[in-house]
Amino acid sequence: MKKLLRMGVIGCARIAERYMIPAIKSADHTCLVAVASRSKTKAEKFAKTFGCEPVYGYENIISRKDIDAVYMPVPPSLHEELAIESLRAGKHVLCEKPFTTGFSESKRIVDEARKRGLLVMENYMFVHHPQHSFVKDMIAGGEIGEIRLFKGAFGFPPLSKSDIRYKNNLGGGALLDAGGYLIRAARLFLGNDLKCIGASLSFDKSLGVDIYGAAMFKNNADQAAQVSFGFDNYYQCNYRIWGSRGAIFVKRAFSIPPQMAPEITLEQQDLIKTFTLPPANHFQIMLDFFAEEVERRNNYESHYSSILEQARLVDCVKRQTNQSNEGEN
């Protein structure tokens, strides 16, 4: 790397405070320049905590000339407008998941990025954790034979009703939040030719958002994925890949703290073996990857395609749910 990627943070969300800003400061190829908030007090608090400049108003950080890229942990409903403004100002964009609330919004951002030759990425940081490469290596080595089924679960007990995940106008809902992780994980192992063949979303009418759900996908090789997710659940954060001669179970798959040593279990006939891997900071790994991709200045089409494929499948789950509901009426 010739120089550090100078980053600005748009929004003072909890994930930024706990994980992403510390990772920006500790990653090898990034540095923190400024943090913006619509609250002057909050911007100043974050700036003091993390040793950077406070900026009042999102537009004032986007217009800065000393920033190469922005990280956006604001509510999903704000992503489209802020991402496009950032791209038009010549900034690369790392956008917190979900990238947007729908395919059409995601496509408008991607079209703008493609036109300007800038990188946009959706921050599914778990994909960069070494435990998933370990699983891929086991599969490539034939440990479980041919994949038959990916089965994943990500859900947690109810949060405070003031949480943005419960606010429909901000892009809340279990599918966009927790469900997106499982869709991304299914794509990681089964590829990008998945089709949603069934789905169910359960809504809290008083909140106006889905609070739990499930979906089933299939690829062109007839490999299936079953996923379950929710905000009103006993905590689960795992996946299991079932093959023709064995299975792999990942105990803590998606939100794994940097200090935690992941456990992966291989099951075969008359064999159960658990591997404990070294801890890894997937937030930091993701940021270094993002910075390296910017520095390479290669074709960013693979990242554009990943964003659109993710958005397409999320929309497919919504359509399948609507069709199922119509069939019951």
Q: Could you tell me if 263 and 221 lie in one domain?
A: yes
Q: Are 25 and 17 in contact (CB under 8 A)?
A: no
Residues 240 and 290 in one domain: no
Q: 118 and 137, same structural domain?
A: no
In a domain, 240, yes or no: yes
Q: How many Å apart are CA 160 and CA 138, to the nearest integer?
A: 40
pLDDT per residue rounded down to tens, the chain (329 residues): 457 999 999 999 999 999 999 999 999 999 999 999 999 999 999 999 999 999 999 999 999 999 999 999 999 999 999 999 999 999 999 999 999 999 999 999 999 999 999 999 999 999 999 999 999 999 999 999 999 999 999 999 998 888 999 999 999 999 999 999 999 999 999 999 999 999 999 999 988 999 999 999 999 999 999 999 999 899 999 999 999 999 999 999 999 999 999 999 999 999 999 999 999 999 999 999 999 999 987 789 999 999 999 999 999 999 998 766 655 55
Q: The domain that contains 59 carries what CATH number?
A: 3.40.50.720
pTM surpassing 0.85?
A: yes
Identify whether the C-beta of residue 208 lies closer than 8 Å to the C-beta of residue 154: no
- Please list the residues that pair with 213 across neighbouring strands: 201, 229
Q: What is the pLDDT of residue 1?
A: 45
Query: CA–CA distance from 69 to each of 77, 94, 135, 193, 232 (Å)?
Result: 20, 7, 32, 31, 36
Other CB atoms within a 10 A radius of the CB of residue 103 amount to 20
Instruction: Note the pLDDT of residue 323.
Output: 66
Q: Which residues contact 323 (CB under 8 A, 6 or more apart)?
A: none
pLDDT at 325: 62
Partners of residue 71 on adjacent β-strands: 9, 94
Q: How far is CA 248 from CA 31, 78, 148, 205, 275, in A?
A: 38, 38, 12, 38, 11
Residue 310 lies in a domain: no
Domain match, 229 and 266 both:
yes
Residue type (1 letter), 256:
I
Same domain, 93 and 36: yes
The percentage of residues in the chain with a pLDDT greater than 70, rounded to a whole number, is: 97
The answer to whether residues 267 and 288 belong to one domain is no
pLDDT at 322: 75
Go through 39-54 and write b for each residue having 16 or more CB atoms within 10 A of its CB, e for each that does not: eeebbbbbbeebebbb
Q: Are residues 87 and 166 in the same domain?
A: no
**Residue of 25, 65, 97, 205 marked active site:** 97
Task: Say whether 310 sits in a helix, a strand or coil.
Answer: helix
Give the SS3 label for residue 100.
coil
115 is catalytic: no
CATH code of residue 148 = 3.30.360.10
Q: How far apart are the first and last CA of the chain?
A: 59
Range of the domain at 235: 130-279+315-328
Measure the CA–CA gap between 160 and 154, rounded to whole angstroms.
18
**Same-domain pairing of 22 and 120:** yes
